[in-house]
Amino acid sequence: MGFVTLYKTKSLLKHTVTVSGLETGIEYTFQVGDSTRGLMSEEQTLTIDTDGTVNLKNADRENSFFVRLTAFYAALIDTLRSLKTILMFFI
């Protein structure tokens, strides 16, 4: 009986942008990602309230990149917590 281990490498990209001069009450539309790799989010729209609160909108909010990413990390954290619990039985 043999064992085969397959590894698939993945890249994690982080993009940071600082924008100044945005005005309250104006809608700004943007996308995030890496267009050279075809990894772009859906278009997002943001507005800034007079109190400085940033409001993000997406026409298809349920399938937006940020919602899916948040759900993925929540599931990952739950899985890691479960693995920790299982490993505690062996210690």
The verdict on residue 41 lying in a domain is: yes
User: pLDDT value at position 15?
Assistant: 62
Q: Tell me how many domains the chain contains.
A: 1
What is the overall mean pLDDT for the chain? 76
User: pLDDT value at position 10?
Assistant: 66
31 and 44 Cβ atoms separated by less than 8 Å: yes
Highest mean pLDDT among 5-9, 52-56, 57-61, 82-86: 52-56
The verdict on residue 66 lying in a domain is: yes
Question: Does residue 47 carry a pLDDT above 70?
Answer: yes
The verdict on residue 15 lying in a domain is: no
Share of the chain above pLDDT 90, in %: 4
- Indicate whether this model's pTM tops 0.75: no
The verdict on residue 14 lying in a domain is: no
Highest mean pLDDT among 1-10, 49-58, 78-87: 49-58
CA atoms within 13 Å, Cβ hemisphere of 50: 0
Q: What mean pLDDT do residues 44-64 have?
A: 77
One-character DSSP codes across the chain: -----------------------TT--EEE--EEGGGTEEPPPEEEEE-TTS-EEEE-TTGGG-HHHHHHHHHHHHHHHHHHHHHHHHTT-
Tokens representing 43 are: 């278009």
Structural domain boundaries, residue 49: 28-88
